């Protein structure tokens, strides 16, 4: 089995794409109307408009209702990401902090309220 992607369902399709493009510097690929992929090294973040879920799997997922998953991104310089995202007015949950296990970690919220952890390893 191969882990393929994580998909985030949203009513704010363009806003979520813009957020993750600003965060990562990666351009989204849009293979279909209402569906995009951010193709990171080793993983894919898929973004789907809620209307696609309603069309093909009504009620299977609810946009902006996540309260348990954290999207995590490893970077070389978490402080630079903090400065960039803070300057853009991104909601900061926890500024860059040294964690007990040695990582420097930054917690953000994307436009749908999903928790995003950006970290650098020790």
| Predicted local confidence at residue 67, as pLDDT | 82
Strand partners, 115: 70, 109
pLDDT tens per residue, range 23-34:
999 999 999 999
Claim to verify: residue 25 and residue 82 sit in the same structural domain: no
Report the C-alpha gap between 96 and 75 in whole angstroms.
12
Do residues 106 and 117 make contact, with C-beta atoms less than 8 angstroms apart? yes
The domain in which residue 36 lies consists of 1-63
Which is higher by pLDDT, 70 or 56? 70
pTM for the full predicted model: 0.90
Last residue of a domain, one of 63, 86, 101: 63
Does the CA dihedral 37-17-51-116 come out positive or negative?
positive
pLDDT at 59 over 80: no
Report the C-alpha gap between 122 and 120 in whole angstroms.
7
Q: State how many domains the chain has.
A: 2
Last residue of a domain, one of 13, 29, 63: 63
Which is higher by pLDDT, 73 or 1? 73
Claim to verify: residue 56 and residue 37 sit in the same structural domain: yes
Kindly report the CATH number assigned to the domain that includes residue 55: 3.10.180.10
Claim to verify: residue 7 and residue 35 sit in the same structural domain: yes
Claim to verify: residue 46 and residue 79 sit in the same structural domain: no
Last residue of a domain, one of 47, 63, 79: 63
Report the C-alpha gap between 15 and 26 in whole angstroms.
15
Distance of CA 1 to the CA centre of its chain: 24
């Amino acid at each position: 089995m191969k882990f393929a992607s994580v998909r985030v369902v949203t009513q704010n399709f363009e806003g979520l794409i813009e957020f993750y493009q600003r965060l990562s510097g990666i351009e989204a690929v849009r293979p279909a109307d209402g569906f995009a992929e951010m193709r990171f090294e080793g993983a894919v973040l898929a973004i789907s408009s809620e209307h696609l879920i309603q069309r093909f799997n009504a009620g299977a997922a609810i946009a902006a209702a996540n309260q348990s998953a954290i999207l995590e991104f490893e970077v070389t310089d978490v402080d630079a990401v903090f400065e960039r995202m803070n300057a853009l007015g991104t909601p900061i949950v926890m500024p860059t902090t040294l964690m007990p296990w040695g990582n420097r970690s930054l917690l953000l919220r994307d436009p749908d309220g999903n928790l995003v952890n950006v970290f650098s390893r020790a």
